[in-house]
Amino acid sequence: MIIVLIGYMASGKTSLGKKLAEKLNYDFIDLDDFIEEKEKSSVSEVFKTKGEIYFRKQESFYLKELLKDNSNIILSVGGGTPCYSNNMELILNADDVTSIYLKASISTLASKLIKKKAKRPLIAHIETEEAMEEFIGKHLFERIPFYSQAEIKVIVDNKTKDDIVEDIILELF
């Protein structure tokens, strides 16, 4: 089975994905890391040198490749992945694939992202937590129609990683 974790930046897709993979004895794959390996370049470098359209095409190509795998995988995808190139449809229609939306409130996301903004070019320019909340709110408004199509929704606010992983396992099995 492939379990695809979707959600906004800082919702915990990677950290929870690794924990979940360990607990279930699955392989963990971060789609951005997979793309970087295949493209032999960082995601930000691909964006800079080849543009977003190229990146989104490659992202969809590699997503399709991974969704055909018969291994037990926890796949963490980028926050924008479900919103482009019919990727959410691919995820929902793939065989033996379950999608999970890690749902976090705007305030939870903002408080995490304001501390990590230097590592994220999309939000590096945002100065205050209020401005971050406004940015996330606008972004989520566009993305929620895609995220909410996930088969399972798990709220991550005010929970430990262990509790969230337990919630996911209970939903899955």
Summarize the annotated binding site for substrate as residue ranges: 32, 56, 79, 143
As annotated, the binding site for ATP includes 10-15, 120
Q: Among 168, 102, 99, which residue's Cα sits nearest to residue 140?
A: 102
Do the Cβ atoms of 133 and 140 come closer than 8 Å?
A: no
CB atoms within 10 A of CB 153: 14
List the binding residues for Mg(2+).
Answer: 14
What's the order of all strands across the beta sheet hosting 152-155?
Answer: 27-30, 73-76, 2-6, 97-103, 152-155
- Enumerate the known binding-site residues: 10-15, 32, 56, 79, 120, 143
Residue 104 backbone phi and psi in degrees, to 5: -125, 150
Residue 164 CB partners (closer than 8 Å, separation 6+): 12, 16, 102, 154, 156
